[in-house]
Structure 1
Amino acid sequence: MPIAILPDVDEQRCIGCALCVEICTALGPDVLRVKPVEGWKRGKAFVFYPERCISDGACLGVCPTHAIFWMRPLEYTAGQPVPLHKNGVFDKGWEEG
């Protein structure tokens, strides 16, 4: 089972600028997406393909509100859904919106 240190997004701090999504996509890993959030015009960033993360930290560096942080090491099985950390609770993931 590989061990990963993955980015996570603090939804309260995220302003929906999508700079993290743009740089991640431009550099190749394509880990992040923006999901619609009720009452928020631009949506919020979230980790959609955690297994693609190369842990380069580019997304952390471009976030103007420091909403992205490293999550503790997480064991996962390649090709299986990765539980994501949200508000202190592990979820089974998000559906792409």
Structure 2
Amino acid sequence: MPIAILPDIDEQRCIGCALCVEICTTLGPDVLRVKPVEGWKRGKAFVFYPERCITDGACIGVCPTKAIFWMRPMNYTAGQPVPLHKNGIFVKGWAEDAGL
């Protein structure tokens, strides 16, 4: 499994404004997307194409809530989205794990 320096996105802070998606798409890598979340009007940003990330950190600079607070080495599978931080605990996927 490859490792890349990827944006770490906190789901609790993300307001779904998509500014990170816009800057990433404009600069070329096209890494981020906004996923609809039940009960949330705008959705939440997440790393959709980890293999495309160039680790420039442009997404960090445009986030108004500091939901993208750092870039860190992460394992990823090409073609698979990277999970978000949920309540300070890294959880795989979008469903809350009741065991955590």
What TM-score does the superposition give when structure 2 sets the normalisation length? 0.74
Distance between the aligned counterparts of 1:79 and 1:45, measured in 2? Answer: 16
Q: Indicate conservation of the 8 Å contact 2:57/2:71, yes or no.
A: no
Q: Deviations 1:68-87 (Å, cap 9, x if unpaired)?
A: 03343234576777677666
Paired residues of 2:10 and 2:85 also in contact (CA < 8 A):
no
**Unmatched runs of 5 consecutive residues or more in structure 2:** 95-100
- What residue ranges of structure 1 are gaps of 5+ in the alignment? none
Calculate the TM-score normalised by the size of structure 1.
0.76
The 2-side partners of 1:20 and 1:43 are apart by 13
4+ long deviations beyond 3 Å: 75-94
Give the alignment's Cα RMSD to 1 decimal. Answer: 2.6
Deviation of 1:58 after TM superposition, in Å, equals 0.4
1:34 matched to 2:1? The reply is no
Aligned residues of 1:34 and 1:45 also touching (Cα < 8 A): yes
Q: Quote the sequence identity (%).
A: 90
